[in-house]
Amino acid sequence: MSKVLVTGGAGYIGSHTCVELLNAGHDVVVLDNLSNSSKEALNRVQTLTAKSVDFVEGDILDEVVLDQIFQNHQIDAVIHFAGLKAVGESQKIPLKYFENNISGSISLVQAMERANVFNLVFSSSATVYDEANISPLNEDMPTGMPSNNYGYTKLIVEQLLEKLAQADERWSIALLRYFNPVGAHKSGLMGEDPQGIPNNLMPYVTQVAVGRREKLSIFGNDYDTVDGTGVRDYIHVVDLANAHLCALNNRLNAQGCRAWNIGTGNGCSVLEIKNTFERVNGIEIPFEFAPRREGDVATSFANNARAVQELGWTAKFGLEDMLADSWNWQKQNPNGYRD
Ligand code: NAD
Ligand code: UFG
């Protein structure tokens, strides 16, 4: 069993990954500055697993804090979730995104090198693929310039990690290209808790369902898709969390830098999400069609064969589970962790 440093471990995907790590018998140290999360998420991780998490409130840009963590703990591997992720905000304050996501990642790998820790799993995104690629997207397809600064930071960090592993064979790095994480822990104790108005579809839908928002705006109904609305590959957050354990396993005995898509391989439209949510949960979601959102592509879904074959990972949950679990979390926690 390993001791894993989880940066951003109090966040949505990080907290779910902590549960899976602890349940699998790993020890977990979380470093999070709580800029987009709450310590309550980690309390719930501990409740669910009956295990303790070593929590350090601090920033990945702070090398003193990082060195202290590596001195105080015998860390075997790092899963790096910490970062800012709001696409719209990244267009308004790019430097904040460059500093946090790019400089922060450099600061982290420098501290890892000082501590002789060379196993890393990085949260990347399907947004790194060139928009001209036709789905299903596979890892051999070219990357391209993302349409926003958030996506740009993911591309840059991927590239610098690749170059690092090429230059120094001690590194073993997994780039996990997430498609669209949704859903929540089955218990309803943990889930996605965005601050302010949600940017993403699923938390918007659940906030409409719980009465915090009036209606869903569907961005575009004239795409060349099954019903004119955008098609994405939604992946249950617990399946995504487990992909990190598979990647850790793979990387502990490997060398170099490699990318894996983490998606179900199924494309699903916005209208299908709305309609399935209504059917599964018995709640109506009022909606309107609105203009397309700038930067959106019509269709994006994964070819996940590489993750299945090389990591031994499969997605266990289907769309109905994702939508039932998202709602279960939201209805038990109408105001997220701030109750
Ligand atoms: P999140 O905001 O819930 O989690 C990120 C965590 O990192 C938060 O707890 C935040 O407080 C922390 N953090 C941010 N900057 C930090 C810093 N400088 N030092 C320490 N902690 C810091 O987001 P999430 O949805 O859990 O995403 C996790 C990772 O996955 C991010 O890197 C994100 O870009 C990436 N990702 C997310 C999605 C998605 O749709 N959710 C898709 C693709 C990739
Ligand atoms: N959508 C709506 N209304 C909303 C929100 C979204 O119709 O209120 C639509 C979008 O137009 C899109 C789909 O729902 O067709 C999914 O949108 P999200 O914002 O939930 O997700 P994106 O696919 O735009 O982006 C997500 C992550 C990014 C990541 C990207 C990779 O948020 O971090 O996937 O493909 F980079």
Indicate which CATH number applies to the domain containing 93. 3.40.50.720
Q: How many angstroms separate the alpha carbon of residue 271 from the centre of ligand 2?
A: 13
288: β partners: 217
Helix-helix angle 104-114:63-72, to 10 degrees = 40
253: β partners: none
Q: How far is CA 13 from CA 162, 214, 235, 314, in A?
A: 23, 27, 11, 17
In a domain, 138, yes or no: yes
pLDDT of residue 339: 63
Residue pLDDT tens, the chain, 339 long: 899 999 999 999 999 999 999 999 999 999 999 999 999 999 999 999 999 999 999 999 999 999 999 999 999 999 999 999 999 999 999 999 999 999 999 999 999 999 999 999 999 999 999 999 999 999 999 999 999 999 999 999 999 999 999 999 999 999 999 999 999 999 999 999 998 899 999 999 999 999 999 999 999 999 999 999 999 999 999 999 999 999 999 998 899 999 999 999 999 999 999 999 999 999 999 999 999 999 899 999 999 999 999 999 999 999 999 999 999 999 999 999 986
Q: How far is CA 213 from CA 73, 84, 208, in A?
A: 44, 24, 5
Strand-pair category, 268-269 with 231-232: antiparallel
In a domain, 208, yes or no: no
Q: How many angstroms separate the alpha carbon of residue 77 from the centre of ligand 1?
A: 18
pLDDT of residue 183: 98
d(CA 253, CA 312): 14
Check: CB of residue 61 under 8 Å from CB of residue 99.
yes
Q: Which of 322, 316, 310 has the alpha carbon at shortest distance from 268?
A: 322
Domain that holds residue 65: 3-183+234-264+302-315
Q: Which residues are catalytic?
A: 150
User: Does ligand 1 lie within 6 Å of residue 330's CB atom?
Assistant: no
30: β partners: 6, 55
In a domain, 222, yes or no: no
pLDDT of residue 1: 84
Q: Which of 45, 42, 49, 115 has the alpha carbon at shortest distance from 78?
A: 115
In a domain, 206, yes or no: no
pLDDT of residue 232: 98
Backbone angles phi, psi at 47, to 5 degrees: -60, -45
pLDDT of residue 70: 98
Q: Which of 214, 212, 228, 197 has the alpha carbon at shortest distance from 296?
A: 228
Q: Considering the entire predicted model, what is its pTM?
A: 0.98
Backbone angles phi, psi at 94, to 5 degrees: -60, -40
Task: Enumerate residues lining ligand 2, CB below 6 A.
Answer: 85, 125-127, 151, 180, 199-201, 204, 217-219, 230, 232, 270, 293, 296, 300
State the total domains in the chain: 1
pLDDT of residue 195: 87
Q: How many angstroms separate the alpha carbon of residue 333 from the centre of ligand 2?
A: 23
